Amino acid sequence: MRKLLTRTIWVVSLVSLFTDIASEMLYPVMPIYLRSIGFSIVLIGVLEGIAEATAGLSKGYFGNLSDISGKRVPFIRAGYSFSAISKPMMAIFTFPVWIFFARTLDRFGKGLRTSARDALLSEETTRENKGKVFGFHRAMDTVGAAIGPSLALVFLFINPGHYKTLFYIAFFPGIIAILLTFLLKEKRKVGIDKDKSLKKVGFFSFLKYWKKAPASYRLLVAGLLVFTLFNSSDAFLLLALKSRNFSDLQIISFYIFFNLVFALLAIPVGILADKAGLFRTLITGLLIFSGVYFFFGLAGSVIAFGFLFFFYGVYYAATDGVSKALISNLVDKTEVATALGFYNSFASIFTLLSSSLAGLLWYSIGLKAMFVISGAGVLGVVIFLSMAFRKQI
């Protein structure tokens, strides 16, 4: 395993670690903070959806631009910079338009960097080891996702309700992440580096990729996009805990636990995926997700939610890095960023719909029905993908 991890993989993973310390320090308190400044459940869903849609469209355009320009590092550095700057902006003013702008800037930064970063990771390894490499990156990323909420937990224990200060504190690990990006270097050109070609890159040029993409890619992406429609923002899981009268400290503790499970399992599951098959691992993860959502609306005790968040971490470990590795193996190596960007773009648009619909369903028929509908929908996705890729099961 040690021989597989190049200097670039380590640097990219450390950048993700510090960025997630900053982001995840805020994520579990974000819905609570938004509620405290007057945002309704429906408005939170719309905010998260629009922010993710912005990230998605950016992933498509900048992924395509990264492939054509043959560059990865500028997109990575700029993307992490925007996300770092957005953190303190969330606390400067609290009126809705400003909050929407700051949150969207954070997600724009994610869209700017993600496809280029994942393509860079793909280039640093072989087809047979992508599950391990993406698993390692996700593990490092998720360690940050556990450290961040832990710091928030300690801070809020000492200073209950002081949410705004957390947004200022989160700026510092973001700065460390930016500085680390200066250790990355372009090793080779991976696309067409011509000014004439760059001038032809329209914002929606990446949409043309669908026609030229392999059939296996189109089938996989179609299934994953329908899954995204039933997979609302994790903020709704935290809000569900809040509705059961769990304290802020308990909610953050559950979130830390879930991230620790994800971090601990990401590498071993990645190794297992390379041996047992990326597709089989992905299907297993989706089945686990379906089960978690079926029972999430019914659970009430600390122990029950503990089991559900454990399996939710397993689901992430079996799908997050694995899906990226699988997509990168289905397409030409010079089009990895475009392929990932295309998928991520539409996934974020579907997230807009999913989060908005989840908010409306919660408001109209209750949280239990919302979770059951999501679980049933994902079970249908599993059946579709299993039939489409039955030879790989």
In tens, the pLDDT along 186-215 reads 876 544 545 545 556 677 778 888 888 888
Residue 318 lies in a domain: yes
Residue 199 lies in a domain: no
Residue 189 lies in a domain: no
pLDDT digits (tens, 9 = 90+) for 252-293: 788 888 888 988 888 888 888 888 888 889 999 999 999 998
Residue 186 lies in a domain: no
Number of H helices, E strands in the chain: 17, 0
**Does residue 152 contact residue 169 with C-beta atoms inside 8 Å?**
no
Structural domain including 86 reads 2-181+206-392
pLDDT for 32 equals 76
**Does residue 84 contact residue 175 with C-beta atoms inside 8 Å?**
yes
- Sort 146 into a burial class: Cβ within 10 Å, 0-12 / 13-18 / 19+: buried
| Cα–Cα distance measured from residue 311 to residue 275, given in angstroms and rounded to the nearest whole number | 22
Structural domains in the chain (count): 1
Residue 188 lies in a domain: no
Residue 196 lies in a domain: no
Residue 193 lies in a domain: no
Residue 14 lies in a domain: yes
Residues 6+ apart with CB under 8 A from 381: 223, 224, 226, 227, 230, 286
The CATH number linked to 154 is 1.20.1250.20
pLDDT digits (tens, 9 = 90+) for 91-131: 887 777 888 888 888 888 988 998 899 889 988 888 778 88
**Nearest CA to 118 among 140, 107, 139, 133?**
133
**Nearest CA to 225 among 338, 332, 348?**
348
**If you ran DSSP here, which 8-state letter would residue 244 be given?**
T
| Cα–Cα distance measured from residue 18 to residue 265, given in angstroms and rounded to the nearest whole number | 20
**Does residue 114 contact residue 344 with C-beta atoms inside 8 Å?**
yes
